[in-house]
Amino acid sequence: MFNQKLSKIIFMKKVIYFFALVVTTLAFTSCNTDDSPEQDQLIGKWKLIQEFENNIEYQLECDDLLLLDFKSDGAYTVQYFDFDNTQTCVLGAIEEEGTWTSNGSNSYTLTFSDGPTTIDETITITFENNTFTVIFVDGSDTYKSTYQRQ
């Protein structure tokens, strides 16, 4: 009889140990950081590096360059480059601010103000390595701009 009680106690300890092990394992696997949503690849700073008009590359000068900054809170800013008083090409002040939303499938809507008018512009972006490209069609003209992550 003593052996039966001892066997039951040992069995119960094993069952309790097994359940404690299962609970601990579940607790650690439920804290997996892979469950967090992936950050949109548009987020970050992007500098204009190349422009084409009707498949002809446009030579960028200092005052053609700009820096886009897409923030994780859905805001974005545009800063243009210009020459300072020593004729050095430098980044200027923020000249445009707006908001952006992802529509999925690399489609984005940019919202900004042009005076009293609010404009929504939907664009499709092609991402490749550390660059993205946007193509605009305006009548018979096609414009392609490439930006590089900074």
CATH number of the domain that residue 56 is part of: 2.40.128.490
pTM > 0.85: yes or no: no
Q: What is the residue range of 114's domain?
A: 44-149
Q: Are residues 48 and 20 in the same domain?
A: no
Q: Are residues 61 and 13 in the same domain?
A: no
Separation of CA 112 from chain center: 19
Mean pLDDT by 10 residues, the chain (150 residues): 43 40 43 66 98 96 96 97 95 95 96 92 96 96 97
Q: Are residues 60 and 117 in the same domain?
A: yes
pLDDT of residue 35: 59
pLDDT of residue 28: 46
The per-residue b/e assignment along 110-138, b for 16 or more CB within 10 angstroms, e otherwise, is bebeeeeeeeeeebebeeeeeebeeeeee
Q: Are residues 50 and 88 in the same domain?
A: yes
Q: Are residues 31 and 71 in the same domain?
A: no
Q: Is 54 helix (H, G, I), strand (E, B) or coil?
A: coil
Q: Are residues 8 and 70 in the same domain?
A: no
Q: How many domains does the chain have?
A: 2
Q: Are residues 94 and 54 in the same domain?
A: yes
Distance separating alpha carbons of residues 62 and 68, to the nearest angstrom: 15
